[in-house]
Amino acid sequence: MPGVPAEPYEFSFELAHTALLIIDMQRDFVDPGGFGEALGNDVSLLRKAVPPTARVLDAARASGLLVIHTREGHRPDLADLPPAKKARGRLKTGIGDAGPMGRILVRGEYGHDIIDELRPRPDEPVVDKPGKGAFYATDLEAILHSRDIRQLVVCGVTTEVCVNTTVREANDRGYDCLVLADCVGSYFPEFQRVALEMVKAQGGIFGWVGESADLLPVLTHAALRERAPQHAPT
Ligand code: C5J
């Protein structure tokens, strides 16, 4: 089994049973001029994760890994938006309202969609989720089950909210998660640090934390090995 240097120890994975999960790389969170920036956040802290995630995405595609993208958002009629979520933050302009890139976190709107650099291919499932966790009220578990996926390489935003919630949900369902520290981002540097600490604490209580530069060569090598003709023992 290929292994990636990680904390708290090496992350071993099987290519055929591993998926890349890219969480909520949506314009409204990541792009300048979106909802995240309108709230006063420095989106450059999230944008840092885009180039390494694009490299991991390329390598995953070349290696034949299942790639799954998620988007946080709601039905245009907001029927799946809990009143508590709508009210939270007492924002003047919040979920469902007209924002700088269309209605905020509403499916079908420009700001809700995934950034151009990481645009999903037609054969890559996009999971629309109404909550922070990607398993809540979605078909993610059915997709993983039907492809016999047991391990997840996780990228996306934000580290302490949707990434952390999803990794915890995945962990409880029996998935091993490798979170790539340079491929996840937070508007708050302290939260980025602590959220990654939490994943790998206590012997990897929620999973593993690694770096894309350590995963990339392992992924490429594993894919080459799998494709190499097998010689029967003489
Ligand atoms: C995500 C959020 N994707 N911070 N959402 O983390 O509200």
For the CA of 23, the nearest atom of ligand 1: 3
Residue 229 CA to ligand 1 centre (angstroms): 44
CA distances (Å), origin 182, targets 13, 49, 59, 186: 20, 6, 15, 11
Atom of ligand 1 nearest to the CA of 160: 6
Q: Please check the confidence at residue 231 and state whether its pLDDT lies above 80.
A: no
**What's the DSSP call for residue 143?**
H
pLDDT digits (tens, 9 = 90+) for 1-46: 999 999 999 999 999 999 999 999 999 999 998 999 988 999 999 9
> From the CA of 71, how far away is ligand 1's center (Å)?
10
Residue 225 has what pLDDT?
A: 86
Protein residue with its CA nearest to atom 1 in ligand 1: 162
pLDDT at 8: 98
- Which ligand 1 atom sits nearest the alpha carbon of residue 24? 3
Which tokens hold the place of 104? 């905020």
For ligand 1, pick from 26, 43, 157, 188 the residue to mutate: most ligand atoms within 8 Å of CB.
157
- Residue that wins the pLDDT comparison between 171 and 225: 171
Task: Using a cut of 0.75, tell me whether the model's pTM lies above it.
Answer: yes
CA R_g for the chain: 18
Query: Exposed/middle/buried for 49, CB within 10 Å: 0-12, 13-18, 19+?
Result: buried
All structural domains of the chain with their residue ranges: 3-227
Ligand 1: list residues with CB < 6 Å.
24, 29, 72, 132, 157-158, 161-162
Per-residue model confidence as pLDDT tens digits over 79-126: 999 999 999 999 999 999 999 999 999 999 999 999 999 999 999 999
What would the mean pLDDT of 66-73 be, rounded to a whole number? Answer: 98
Residue 223's pLDDT is 86
- Whether 180 has a pLDDT exceeding 80, the answer reads yes
Checking if the pLDDT of 234 tops 60, the result is no
Catalytic residues: 24, 129, 162
pLDDT at 233 over 70: no
Name the residue with tokens 């969609």: 113
Residues 180-204 have a mean pLDDT of 98
Q: How far is the CA of 12 from the centre of ligand 1 (A)?
A: 29
Is residue 230 scored above 90 in pLDDT? no
Structure tokens at 14: 């099987």
Percent of the chain residues topping a pLDDT of 70: 98
Contact 155, 21 (CB under 8 A): yes
Query: Best substitution site from 22, 27, 135, 162 to test ligand 1's pocket, by max atoms within 8 Å of Cβ?
Result: 162
- Total Cβ atoms within 10 A of residue 188: 15
CA distance 41 to 122: 32
Distance 26 CA to ligand 1 centre (A): 10
In the three-class reduction of DSSP (H, G, I as helix; E, B as strand; rest coil), residue 27 is classed as helix
pLDDT in tens, 129-145: 999 999 999 999 999 99
Taking the C-alpha atoms of residue 46 and residue 24, their distance in angstroms, rounded to an integer, is 11
Q: Side-chain half-sphere of 90: how many Cα atoms within 13 Å? A: 0
Tokens of 76: 């245009």
H helix or E strand, kind and range, residue 20:
strand 18-23
| Domain 3-227 in CATH 3.40.960.10 | no
User: Which of 23, 24, 104 has most ligand 1 atoms within 8 Å of its beta carbon, as the pocket-test mutant?
Assistant: 24
Distance CA 159, CA 61 (A): 23
232 pLDDT higher than 80? no
Cα(161) to centroid(ligand 1), Å: 5
SS3 assignment, position 41: coil
- From CA 44, how far away is CA 77, in angstroms rounded? 32
Q: Are 221 and 15 in contact (CB under 8 A)?
A: no
Can you read off the two tokens belonging to residue 136? 């809540």
User: Which residue is listed with tokens 């037609």?
Assistant: 122
